[in-house]
Amino acid sequence: MSHPTGRRLAHWAPALTLAALVLLVAACSPDQYPQTTLRPRADYARDADAIFRLTLGWATVVFVLVEGALLFALYRFRNRPGAADPVQSHGNTTLEIVWTIIPAFILAMIAVPTVRTIFKTATKPGPEALQVEVIGHQWWWEFRYPQLGITTAGELMVPSGRTVNLEMTTVDVLHSFWLPQFAGKRDVFPNRYNNLWFKAEVEGNFPAQCVEFCGIQHGRMAYRIVSMKPEAFDAWAANFNQPPRDFSADSAANPLVKQGQALFQAKGCVGCHSLYPALPLIGPNLHHVGSRSHIAAGTLENTDENLAKWIQNPQAWKEGVLMPNLGLKDDEVHALVAYLRANQ
């Protein structure tokens, strides 16, 4: 007396399941996901990944055995015509003991490496590490390098092959800083520093985003992690420590850039955005913003078009962000874009 739709569904269910599984498997390959945690590229991430694979392995074994037992029971003990009344067993103490001890044993196999890894990853690196202070803001990330006298925002530049030690805090609400490719995550709290460290094994420009709900624009509080060879990193740091170029005194400078520089002062941008390599203000530091790969807290590629779009109306892309819509005219925007682009 089974309903026709029910029967049709049950008939197609295996095929549909297979199709869904195929799609899922296709979507499974971690390499298509730039923010994946499954391709660890630093020591910390590898330790975390090892524990993940250990637990995944055991979970798979248990899954196959237990779901298998369930499916077997459903098949073997389904009611068939003429079947005898089942034995009214109430329990079995031996079984209870066995199926308490075996899971405990499996969990011990997970617990021991877990505790070992917890303590290993809690040990702060020594003085050879590069120190970076990470500061969360609603809705962007600030990075300071106390050893180098650098303040920047949006992109965490690190040398590969060298331990980087992150000391992290926030100036407003809780955020969480995550390096899925290199390390786990840590929440950031006001008036406190949390610590994370890693040694990147590869170079590249990787995306990441804030991972603790922090208000209206939590979804667009992203950043980039840019790992580069140590020589390249040193060159970047040295270059960064140059003061901002003053185009007003430069007769060879593009007039649009000069106009942009003047507007940067006149329109009040300087009130929030510093162009000095070591000076933080309430907005992201824009020193050398022209050469960053992304803007708007890692959410827009740093093209002239995007930069213009952002400056024209930040609220349109990121409603609620603290940067107001200044009501700039098109030519003013172009000038500012040119100026910022020249700041490399």
Q: Between residue 66 and residue 95, which ones bind other proteins under the rule CB under 8 A?
A: 66-67, 69-70, 73-74, 77-79, 83, 85-92, 95
- H or E segment at 233? helix 230-240
Residue 13 touching other proteins (CB under 8 A): yes
**Among 43-51, 124-132, 234-242, 243-251, the segment contacting other proteins (CB under 8 A):** 43-51
Give one DSSP letter per residue of 142-185, joined into a string.
EEEETTTTEEEESEEEEETTSEEEEEEEESSS-EEEE-TTT--E
Q: Rank residues 85 and 330 by Cβ distance to other proteins and give the closer one.
A: 85
Site for other proteins in 113-132 (CB under 8 A): 114-115, 117-119, 121-122
Task: Give the shortest CB-302-to-other proteins separation in angstroms.
Answer: 14
Burial 141-178 (b: 16+ CB within 10 A, else e): bbbbbeebebbbbbbbbbbbeebbbbbbbbeebebbbb
First-to-last CA distance in the chain? 75
301 touches 293 (CB < 8 A): yes
205 binds other proteins (CB under 8 A): no
Residues 95-114 that bind other proteins (CB under 8 A): 95-96, 99-100, 103-104, 107, 110-111, 114
Amino acid code (one letter) for 36: T
Separation between Cα atoms, residue 321 and residue 300, nearest integer Å: 14
Which window, 124-132, 166-174, 231-239, 324-332, contacts other proteins (CB under 8 A)?
Answer: 166-174
CB-nearer residue toward other proteins: 122 or 252: 122
Tokens 């960053």 map to which residue? 292
C-alpha closest to that of 220 among 290, 138, 136:
138
Q: Does the footprint of other proteins cover residue 207 (CB under 8 A)?
A: yes
Instruction: Please list every residue from 239 through 278 that binds other proteins, using CB under 8 A.
Output: none
**322 sits near other proteins (criterion: CB under 8 A):** no
| 3-class secondary-structure state, position 193 | coil
- CB of 169: closest distance to other proteins in angstroms? 11
Which residues is 208 bridged to in the sheet?
223
Query: At 10, is the secondary structure helix, strand, or coil?
Result: helix
Site string for other proteins, 216-245 (x = CB under 8 A): xxxxx-x-----------------------
**What is the nearest approach in angstroms of other proteins to the Cβ of residue 21?**
10
- Least distance between other proteins and beta carbon 191 (Å): 5
